[in-house]
């Protein structure tokens, strides 16, 4: 018997936060016919991760990042 959207939602909400984020990313990506955008974001994410791992940039706490973003749009 096929699952309803509500059944899928209930199951998805039982996933760990990281798994929910991965699922959301995949679902959003499936809405776009232009895969080049997703490929460019993946490349950018890998570049940024490499910078963090190499120590060429420093991470900032999420609270600070959110505050900076909020201030930037005001």
- Average of per-residue pLDDT across 26-38: 83
Burial of 23 (0-12, 13-18, 19+ CB in 10 A): middle
Residue 59 in this model has a pLDDT that exceeds 90: yes
pLDDT band at 1, cuts 50/70/90?
A: low
Residue 33 in this model has a pLDDT that exceeds 80: no
pLDDT in tens, 44-54: 999 999 999 99
| Secondary structure class of 61 (helix, strand, coil) | coil
Residue 2 in this model has a pLDDT that exceeds 80: no
- Average of per-residue pLDDT across 29-43: 84
């Amino acid at each position: 018997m096929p699952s309803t959207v509500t059944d899928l939602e209930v199951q998805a909400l039982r996933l760990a936060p990281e798994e929910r984020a991965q699922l959301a990313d995949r679902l959003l990506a499936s809405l776009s016919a232009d895969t080049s955008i997703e490929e460019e974001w993946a490349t950018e994410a890998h570049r940024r991760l490499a910078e963090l791992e190499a120590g060429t940039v420093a991470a900032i706490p999420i609270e600070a990042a959110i505050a900076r973003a909020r201030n930037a749009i005001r």
